[in-house]
Structures are given as structure tokens and as C-alpha cells.
Amino acid sequence: MIREMLRPLMPYLDQADLQELVINRPGELFCLTTNGWQRYEMGALSHQRLMTICLAIATFAAQSLSAQTPILSAVLPGGERIQILIPPCVEEGLISLSIRRPYHSDKTLKAWEGEGAFEKIESPKTREDVPENAFRESLRDELTRCVRQGENIAIVGETGSGKTTLMKSLCQLIPSHERLITIEDARELFLPHHLNRVHLLYSRGNQGSASIGAGDLITACLRMRPDRVLLAELRGPEAFDYLKLLSTGHRGSITSFHAGSCAQAMDRFALMCRENKDAIGFTTAELCELARLNIDLVVHLSVTRGNGDQRRRFIKEIWRRVPQSVTQ
């Protein structure tokens, strides 16, 4: 039924290089592809038609959509993530609809390297960074070694910088015999080469039929004997549950979250932790220090536009934790 409702959008959703489709108001839509944003007029997308589509998606996702619950996050049958906002969150008479298409291709680190994604890395800026010349191997070899040695890795960057894509590339390097548990609100980490895996799913904002959040799943996976826990994206209070997971000695975890640089990453992580009521006894400085002690590597991704408004993703900065020396 959902596919039938979305039929007017299918020619756009089926574009091979589509990254995102957005509707800001009735009668038009925008598509983000490798060539940037393109606007299309669609007279058939009346306000009534859009609202019918949105209500059908709400029914499919077992959620409500009304003036009392005007925000909906869901996953479509094809795996696309959709975000819907109606009044009063948007102006009266408007509907905001954003569809992000999942990236199913398993892009390798070698492919990243071939696209020049490792050529713009800047010198470290914080006092705990290793010197730039400490990376004696190629960045591809260094990242491979970090994953296989079980270092805890955080990938940060802006929206659309390729955090999930790089995370999937790193997951390919995890030994295939390990037991993996993923925690996501939408399936993107498929891990076809790891047979001993479990994919745990939560509803963003506890909007689904079961009020289960990422923090609940982090707690549950402690009893599931994982070799590694992979948390697709940290957004809020679950960061503190994730920090507790790392502090129990679990190694090899990979996660991502929004931050503007490696230097900002720990502050951003601490702010998310403080959204958790269980973190009330910790100061921001203490949470930053705990994050530094438990996260071994931070990779900052950025995106730039080239000729023709093409978007190019690249690693801008690397932060490595320097182990403290032990004195007698």
C-alpha cells in the first residue's frame, strides 16, 4: 500500500544516484544527487495528497501523526528513512517530508583512497593528539590496523558527510568469526560476511508501538555476549549508556555522531551524556575525560563541492588517544 501511495515519487526515488528527496510545500520537490540539489514541480502533490501519504506511513509505522504528535520518524519498506513534520512544527498549510535513501554498496577503504578521500587530512590540533608524522603507515593501513586491534572508533562530521558509509567500510575489516551486535533506528549495517550477528532496532523518540530506546538496547546487549557493539549513530542520552558500555572493557566498538571537528567531538559527546538523568553526578569536564579514556580514535569527515556542485567526501582530521605512561 505504501509503495502505491508513493507512486508519484517513484521516478525520483528510483534515480541511481539519489541521496535525499525532500518536500517543503505542496506542488514541488527537491532531489539531492551527486550533482547537487535539483527542483521539480509536481502539481499532483496537493496538500491533501501529501497528508494522505503521511497518514498511511504513520499507520504502517504504528505511530500517530496529529497536531499533538506532529513529528514522525520511520523506515519505508525499501529501507529509506523518512522524517515528517506537520503543523504546528511547520507553518499552517505546509508539510515537510524528507526521505533519505540507504546506501547499500559496500565501499572499501581502497575505494575511499582512490577517490582522494585521504589526501586532505590536516595536522592534529589538540594537546593529546599524536604528531602528524606518527602515522608512518598509509591512512588506509592505519585504519585497518585500528579496527583489527579492537580500538574504539568514533566517526564524526556534518549531515551527509559519509559517516555511515565510512562506518560500513570499517565494519568490513572486522574478523568474520566475531559476534557482532548492531544498534540502529533504521537498518543500514547489513554485515553480510558476519554470520554471528544480531541487529537490534529502536524507534527514534520512542515513537513506535514499543517504547524502546537506544539506551535500553545497549543495556540488553551486555547480556548477549557480543565481541563488538556497533552503534550506528549517537544522538542524545544514549551516549552515557554507550560510555558505560565502553568502560566495562568492551573493545572494538564503532559509532558515529555529529561534531564539527575532532576537538569538538569530546565536548559534543559529553553534552549528549548530560541529557541522561543518570549522568547528573558528572561534570562536563569529567564526562569529556571519560570519553577520552575510552575512545581510541576519532575520524572527522567533511564534504566539499567541486565542479558542477558535485559533493566530495573526505577525511579532514584524525585524533588518536595517547596512552599515558606508567611510572614506578
3-state secondary structure of 183: strand
Q: What's 149's DSSP letter?
A: T
Of 82, 100, 118, which residue is a domain's last?
Answer: 100
Please indicate, yes or no, if residue 120 is contained in any of the structural domains: yes
Are 58 and 42 in contact by the 8 Å Cβ rule? The answer is: no
Of 52, 82, 100, which residue is a domain's last?
Answer: 100
Closest CA to 123 of 114, 133, 113, 115: 133
Please indicate, yes or no, if residue 326 is contained in any of the structural domains: no
Please indicate, yes or no, if residue 327 is contained in any of the structural domains: no
> Could you tell me if 167 and 234 lie in one domain?
yes
What is the CATH classification number for the domain harbouring 60?
Answer: 3.30.450.90
CB contact set of 289 (below 8 Å; sequence gap of 6+):
none
Please indicate, yes or no, if residue 328 is contained in any of the structural domains: no
pLDDT on residue 77: 85
Closest CA to 253 of 171, 164, 160, 328: 171
Please indicate, yes or no, if residue 132 is contained in any of the structural domains: yes
pLDDT on residue 37: 92
pLDDT on residue 133: 44
What is the CATH classification number for the domain harbouring 164?
Answer: 3.40.50.300
pLDDT on residue 93: 94
> Could you tell me if 89 and 126 lie in one domain?
no
Closest CA to 21 of 39, 46, 7: 39
> Could you tell me if 64 and 46 lie in one domain?
yes
**For 57-71, how does the pLDDT look when each residue is reduced to its tens digit (9 = 90+)?**
999 988 889 999 999
Please indicate, yes or no, if residue 237 is contained in any of the structural domains: yes
Q: Which amino acid is at 41?
A: E
Q: How many domains does the chain fold into? A: 2
Mean pLDDT of the 135-145 span:
81
**For 81-121, how does the pLDDT look when each residue is reduced to its tens digit (9 = 90+)?**
899 999 999 999 999 999 998 776 679 999 999 999 998 88
List 257's β-bridge partners, or say none.
Answer: 156
Look up the domain containing 39 and give its range.
2-100
Strands annotated E in the chain: 20-23, 28-33, 36-41, 71-75, 81-85, 96-100, 153-157, 180-184, 197-201, 228-231, 254-258, 297-305, 311-320
